[in-house]
A and B are shown apart, each in its own frame.
Chain A
Amino acid sequence: MGYGFEALTYNIKDGYLEGIVRGHKTGLLTAADYNNLCQCETLDDIKLNLTATDYGEYLKDVPATLNTSTIVERCTQKLVDDWSHMRAHADEQLGTFLDYCTYGHMIDNVVLIVTGTMHDRDHTELLEKCHPLGMFDSIATLAVATSMRELYRLVLIDTPLAPYFSMNLTSEDLDEMNVEIMRNTLYKAYLDDFAQVCQKIGGSTAEVMGDMLAFEADRRALNITLNSIGTELTFDDRRKLYSNFGLLYPHGHQELSMAEDFEQVRAAMEKCPAYIPIFSRMSYGESQMLDKLLYEEEVRRSVLTFEQQFHYGVFYAYMKLREQEIRNIMWIAECVSQDQKSRIHDGIVFVF
């Protein structure tokens, strides 16, 4: 489908779902809702406020004794239900795209189970912690594996993650460091693949998703760098974990891989015009704010995708927005339940 001509044929197959997803987007909490939520004194108040929103149906039957995890779980259930409804109605191409959106959760789940098993956690408890969007049939079997090769041979070969894994297979035993490296290698392969799929779909999907994924890749590169400063990871190994696209590719990656402290990272990032505004909002020496600023940037970009029509980026953006909203709710609920109301505004990333 050539660029500019999606308008002609898009609605034949995907118009309905785009309507649905735009409807869901208007159901996101507004600034007024957040305002009300921030004034809550107890978790019950939060529930009362949320029952007036799209989450109402999901929180209606929760018994009075609440905790944060129940609220978050119910809210996530809303996202999962929306998602599976859309997935069930999706045409082949959109279906593939929607699946691709969830592979990231799948990788996280694999890593979660593997690390959990290393620390001898109960596997049912681990399964509960997994993100429901990233579930696959044989996920529970992950607990059986003891080495990377086994992990691949026993379980992952049946999942969509198999190609990412087989590219980077090592026979090392599983330990904390290796798992983390595995997560990042998988993510790299996944993002590269996803970007390619989006390019293949073409049209404004390629354009919009190109932006979204470039940001995602750069953010991962930034995080990898920050987390690996002061560890035994060599510069070359670090470099290998960066994705092969994004605004920082390739020169920014070169500099990032050499960075040894936050200021160097910052200098490397600021060479890219798109990231100057993020860093200019942070004073020197203050790195805690970075996460929130990155989330804000992500939300901003996600909201912008809704400005264009006839592309798949809105689905990805909706997932991101809903997840951010759930993170916000979790933050508010935690602040309320731990009596830290003064910090409540620090963690919220407003969607609009």
Chain B
Amino acid sequence: MDLWRSEPMQRIRLMVPAEAAHETIVSLGEIGLVQFVDLNTNRSAFQRTYATEVKRCDEMTRRLRFFKEQVEKEGLLKDGIGVDKDTSLDELEARLEELERELLEVNANSDRLQQNRSELVELQLVLEKAGKFFEEARDAVQPEILEAASPLDLSAPLLENAQLGQQKVTKVGFLSGLVAKEKLENFERLLFRATRGNMFLKHCEVGSLRDPATGEQVEKHVFVVFYAGERVRTKITKICEVYGANTYPFPEEAARQRQMVSEVTMRLRELSTTIEAGERLRFEVLNTLAANLTGWCGRLMREKATFHVMNKLSVDSSRKVLVGEAWVPVDALEEVKDALVTATEVSSAQTGTILEPMHPEGPPPTYFKTNKFTEGFQSIVEAYGVARYREVNPSVFTCVTFPFLFAVMFGDLGHGFLMLLFALFMVIREKALGKVQNDMFEMLFGGRYVILMMSIFSIYTGLVYNEAFSMPTSFFGGTKWVCQAEGNETLPDIRLCQGRSLSLLVDGTDPYPFGLDPVWHGTKNELTFTNSMKMKMSVVFGVLHMDLGIIMSVFNQQYFRDQLSIWCEFVPQILFLNSVFGYLAFMIVYKWCLNSHFALPNPSGPGTVNRGTADLYNVMINLFLSPGTVDPAGELYDGQARVQSILLLVAFVAIPWMLLPKPLILRSRNRNGRQEQPSGEDSGTGAAHGGAKEGAFSFGDVMVHQMIHTIEFVLGAVSNTASYLRLWALTLAHSQLSVVFYDRVLMLVVELASDPAAGLTVRSVLQIFIGFFVFAMATLGVLMVMESLSAFLHALRLHWVEFQNKFYNGDGYKFIPFSFANFTKDDL
């Protein structure tokens, strides 16, 4: 079985002739079965042999990123990863450099043209808008001149004053241009301050334009500013410059204006054709780029990864040989050898690569061959810790126990069915959904088979609990129970049982064949009954699960030939657990088999005893408090007292057994100078051996470790068993919540709406609609999401803590082979 223990690994040394190194590493990357060990840890990144190649690759990737960005902007980007294997790296580098130059040139050209055009566009706008200002002003002046007698009229347009001033005092000049909208306010304020208010600014919005300097779209205003005096002019020019306001000449005479307008329009038309041609050229360049881009990206990712691996090899410059060390799964050795041979052929090196096995330094990596089903479970286990090399892998059992324990807490036919639909959706649409990139969803998707298993088990436990959205089903025929009313009369109809206490099985017939009898639903003592059943069931599962964990430790000890631990740890552990809690589980099952309704004659005295109603609490308490005697209320079978005394004795003997012999034997072995078996030290209790392992044997350390271990186990046996009661608590919570949602939400509105006199009205339909909506949301949100999450977490805890601490070391490290297969297109 692949999953039971991790793959055996082999440490190998590769001696690669320098000229074939690249090819060799590439072919190893293609098979993806070799994990290289870094032999140059003491050297920083740029001191390594192939640092220049890595830098070259970095530079090329930078170019590719630039191309990608350009291509993406034009919407030509293609999906997927290809690998271009034909071009050599040098050729590719030259090609990329050339293409970059070409693209930059084309871009620069089109930028220049665009800039020209935007300048012309701006000029055109200035001519148009500023011309309009002047015309408006001129029109306004006409009537003004007629009543020129009042020169102090404040409402007269400034332009007129300016014109008057022109004749009288100084020349009024003006500047026209464009300024960005968000800067306009500041611009105006500064102009005002700088000229002490001696200026006039007129502006008009023209919308979004391409700024000639930056090439961005900017909201702009055309402005004309009037001023007086030459000194002010220099100031204003400077301010314009600072604010990035482009000024354009504006002729005063109308004829010259018209001439300029036509000139600008003509030049604009010419420019558009040129720009179009330029754009076509650019598009062509980008198109050719887009065709090759994915191939080149894939190629470069490979090259870079290859050089990074080559940097891990140690180099012997005199002999022109690279020496590398690596881990390989033993199964794959042949494949690796084949790959090496082909690589040598391809690179036409004179000598082949030499592969020699070597004695491992340090523990080998852990490698499990998982498939898409076991992957999810394996990652659940590995979230706790990666298995130590070759130790037993709990995932084998986790595949079943995990969904089962989840389902014990999430048992409901309906909810399980909904979850099954979701899981099936993910499993069937596997290929399409695999591409979705969303952290939350990827996590769910990774565990799709876990969810599938969980849902199937939930349906099963739902059948056992006989609950579908909290309602009982009667797939297996009717009930065999009758109800007892207050007197001893029996009720004729089983439906009348609701709200009463239920008892008495009809004599002589079989019980309900599978799962819980539906008649319990809604009775007064339903909870008393199911609680007792679920609590006992939790304890039984817990004891079985822990026993499995302890048995797993034998597999480890057997495999690592640690006889001492088997006799001094496994045996007392299993005896201790089973003589206390195993016995409890036995009594639970035994009691279930008894009929609780018929008393038997008391063998030891007068009257009768009903062994089916024996109190297990009392039995357990008396087991410790008054050993050797049995309370008549707790008697289950004959000879119980003797059996219990023996069990108690066994449990008490097991504790010193766990504690003392192992350290003492280790000490005596050490004293006699006997060689300990080296493999014996890799056993399940690594911590206990820590002292012995590192050179000097320290009895104190070993003793302390063993003491901790023993105390942990003994106390753990109690607390872990109690911990399994969470199964009961969670299943109780789940069923009660679903009952609440069903009864108090859905049934409440149904009752409200179903007034037989009124019949079906709009109001009742609406009521049911809203009621069902609330019920559905609560079921989805609270039960399907929150409850399932909490059940998942509790199942996880039961596996990590209660199960795995019995045997699992989890201190290995994962095998991460050097492989080209894992690249995605975002890695670049």
Contact = CB atoms under 8 A, between A and B. Distances in A.
Contacts of B242: 123, 140-141, 143-144
A49 B186 contact: no
A154 B194 contact: yes
Contact of A49 (B46, B58, B62): B46
A49 B45 contact: yes
Contact of A45 (B46, B66, B190, B194): B46
B320 interface: no
Contacts of B65: 60-61
Contacts of A141: 190, 239, 242-243
Contacts of A155: 190
A40 B55 CA distance: 14
A153 B242 CA distance: 17
B194 A64 contact: no
Contact of B193 (A45, A52, A154): A154
Interface in A121-146: 123, 137-138, 140-141, 143-144
A52 B44 CA distance: 11
Contacts of A62: 62
A99 interface: no
B430 interface: no
Contact of B59 (A39, A40, A64): A64
A180 to B, nearest CB: 24
A61 B51 contact: no
B45 A144 contact: no
B235 interface: yes
A48 interface: yes
Given A45-B46, A154-B194, A140 B243 contact: yes
B239 A48 contact: no
A4 interface: no
Contacts of A61: 62, 65-66
A141 B188 CA distance: 12
A76 to B, nearest CB: 21
Nearest to B244: A140
A63 interface: yes
Nearest to B241: A123
Interface residues of A, number: 26
Interface string A34-78: 001001110011001101100000001111100000000000000
A238 B213 CA distance: 46
A138 B59 contact: no
A48 B190 contact: no
Interface string B164-208: 000000000000000000000010001001100000000000000
Nearest to A139: B242
B370 interface: no
Nearest to B234: A144
Nearest to A41: B46
B369 interface: no
A144 B44 contact: no
Contact of A144 (B46, B58, B62, B239): B239
B194 A144 contact: yes
A158 B65 CA distance: 42
Given A39-B44, A61-B62, A61-B65, A48 B55 contact: yes
Nearest to A141: B242
Interface in B49-76: 51, 54-55, 58-59, 62, 65-66
Contact of B238 (A39, A64, A144, A158): A144
Contacts, number: 58
B44 A44 contact: no
A329 to B, nearest CB: 16
A223 to B, nearest CB: 32
Given A48-B45, A49-B45, A153 B59 contact: no
B47 interface: yes
Nearest to A142: B242
Nearest to A117: B238
Interface string B24-50: 000000000000000000001111000
B46 A154 contact: no
Interface string B677-696: 00000000000000000000
Interface string A14-40: 000000000000000000000010011
Contact of A138 (B66, B186, B241): B186
A117 to B, nearest CB: 10
Contact of B44 (A49, A64, A123, A140): A49
Contacts of B235: 144
Interface string A308-341: 0000000000000000000000000000000000
A64 B58 CA distance: 9
Contacts of B54: 48
Nearest to B189: A158
Contacts of B47: 39
A48 B58 contact: yes
Nearest to B100: A63
Contacts of A52: 45
Contacts of A49: 44-46
A291 to B, nearest CB: 30
A138 B242 CA distance: 9
Nearest to B61: A60
B190 A154 contact: yes
A155 B238 CA distance: 14
Nearest to A64: B59
Contacts of A143: 238, 242
Interface string B278-310: 000000000000000000000000000000000
Interface string A98-125: 0000000000000000000000000100
Contacts of A153: 193
Nearest to A40: B46
B21 to A, nearest CB: 21
B45 A138 contact: no
Given A48-B45, A141-B239, A63 B193 contact: no
Interface string B227-264: 00000000100110111000000000000000000000
Interface in A175-208: none
A123 B239 CA distance: 12
Contacts of B62: 60-64
Contacts of A63: 59, 62
A155 B235 CA distance: 14
A140 B242 CA distance: 6
Contacts of A137: 186
A62 B63 CA distance: 10
B336 to A, nearest CB: 31
B190 A36 contact: no
A60 B827 CA distance: 13
A41 B51 CA distance: 12
Interface string B755-782: 0000000000000000000000000000
A153 B192 CA distance: 11
Given A61-B62, A154-B193, A36 B238 contact: no
B46 A48 contact: yes
- Which of A49, A61, A64, A144 has most B Cβ within 10 Å? A144
B233 to A, nearest CB: 13
A154 B59 CA distance: 47
Nearest to A46: B46
A95 B221 CA distance: 33
Contacts of B58: 48, 51
A64 B61 CA distance: 11
A35 to B, nearest CB: 8
A39 B47 CA distance: 9
Given A52-B45, A62-B62, 17 more contacts: A36-B45, A39-B44, A39-B47, A45-B51, A48-B45, A48-B58, A49-B45, A61-B62, A61-B66, A64-B55, A64-B62, A138-B186, A141-B190, A141-B242, A144-B190, A153-B193, A154-B194
List the 5 closest pairs (A to B, CB-CB), nearest first: A140-B242, A45-B46, A36-B44, A64-B59, A48-B46
17 contacts: A36-B44, A41-B46, A48-B45, A49-B46, A52-B45, A60-B65, A61-B65, A64-B62, A137-B186, A138-B186, A138-B190, A143-B238, A144-B238, A153-B193, A154-B190, A155-B190, A158-B186
